[in-house]
Amino acid sequence: MKTKKKIPWFTLLRLFGILLFVYILTTIDFAQAWDVFKSAGLTYVLLALVFQVFLLIIKAFRWDLIRKTKAEKINRFLNAARFFESYAVGVVTPGRLGEFMKAGHEEKKTDKFNSIIKIFYERGFDLGVFVLISGLFFIYFFSSHIPLLGGLLILTGALLLVVTFLLMTNKKVIEFSLKWVQKIKKTDTDISHLNYSFAQSSMIFMLSIGSNIFYYLSGYFLALSVSINESLLNISGIISLTGIINLLPITVMGVGTREASFLYFLSEYPANQVIAFSLLMFLVAQIGGALVSLLLSQIIFITDKKQSNG
């Protein structure tokens, strides 16, 4: 007798976002939202796409700085191609886990482990910025009602940035972290050489700030394209909070949770405008950014292969 296969609870959990999206569609006039989407200001949309390209270039350069230590010599262009490829895959994977495929390009097990640590440096700065901006927006949006939560978010974001910076620059912090890593996962891997100079770490931090600013500007211009006239801080805060929510395993590429967040925080605007903005964020900032990234990676891979064969 064949036993029925049970649907994993994790899969059911991820269906929440899709079910939420279906529910939202039943409460709005999607035809009107589509009309708003089609009439979006082309100049603003193109500017948003340009900022996506700038964002990718800055992040690729940042990964090059993170990837390169005194003990390693790397091919800068191939390194950028691997970053672009992983970024594209990360867009369509839960919590951007696809970005860890950068570590898969390493041949040695030790190098793979070290590369994962470097990815955590990268994600630590990005998440720290998102949480910090979310806290600032939280205090502004909710005013004096729940300032404690906003303050807690700001503190958490700042702490993430400081801890990430210390992990890169302070040898004692690195060695302390290594001991905890070895307790969780028994390994003889030595990560003590992942010690960056203050100047290099500062540059990586500034590039993290810059890349996120370009992401916020991209979202800001997409909002303007459908006549959502909010300040850059408001749009940045909404995008940051939504990004943090999308890290939870309750959605696929932010479907459902993104629309719900936008509708809540932009409730003073007609729902069709907000849904059009959400659709633009999905198609331009996510899918568009992923496609540009994938295209750049393939161009570099093909060029490198031709040069190697020639």
Q: What average pLDDT does range 63-69 have in this prediction? A: 80
Nearest 5 degrees, angle CA 263-CA 258-CA 41?
A: 75
In the predicted structure, residue 10 carries a pLDDT above the cut 60: no
DSSP state of 287: I
Domain locations in the chain as residue ranges: 9-305
CB neighbours of residue 239 within 10 Å: 28
Provide the pLDDT for residue 1: 45
What's the distance, Cα to Cα, between the start and end of the chain in Å?
60
DSSP state of 7: P
Q: What is the mean pLDDT of the chain?
A: 83
- The arithmetic mean of pLDDT across residues 30-39, rounded, is 92
Q: What is the pLDDT of residue 51?
A: 96
Cβ-proximal residues to 169 (8 Å cutoff; 6+ apart), any chain = 195, 196, 197, 198, 201
CB 310 within 8 A of CB 88: no
Q: What is the pLDDT of residue 56?
A: 93
Region 46-63: mean pLDDT is 94
Q: What is the pLDDT of residue 148?
A: 76
pLDDT value of residue 77: 82
Asked whether residue 217 carries a pLDDT value surpassing 90, the answer given is yes
Sign of the Cα pseudo-torsion (281, 292, 47, 213, in order): positive
Q: What is the mean pLDDT of residues 290-298?
A: 91
Instruction: State the pLDDT at residue 220.
Output: 97
**Residue 5 has what pLDDT?**
56
273 and 228 in contact (C-beta within 8 Å)?
A: yes
pLDDT, tens digit, for every residue of 122-154?
Answer: 889 999 999 999 988 888 777 656 667 788 889
pLDDT for 197 equals: 84
d(CA 160, CA 256): 28
Provide, rounded to the nearest whole percent, the portion of the chain with pLDDT above 90: 40
> Closest Cα to residue 169, out of 120, 112, 121?
121
User: What pLDDT score does 274 carry?
Assistant: 95
pLDDT of residue 250: 78
- Taking residues 50-77, what's their average pLDDT? 82
Model pLDDT for residues 180-193, shown as the tens digit of each residue:
666 665 655 555 55
Q: By mean pLDDT, which of 175-184, 204-213, 231-240, 256-265 is the weakest? A: 175-184
Buried b (16+ CB within 10 A) or exposed e, 6-45: eeeeeeeebebbeebbeebeeebebeebeebbeebeeebb
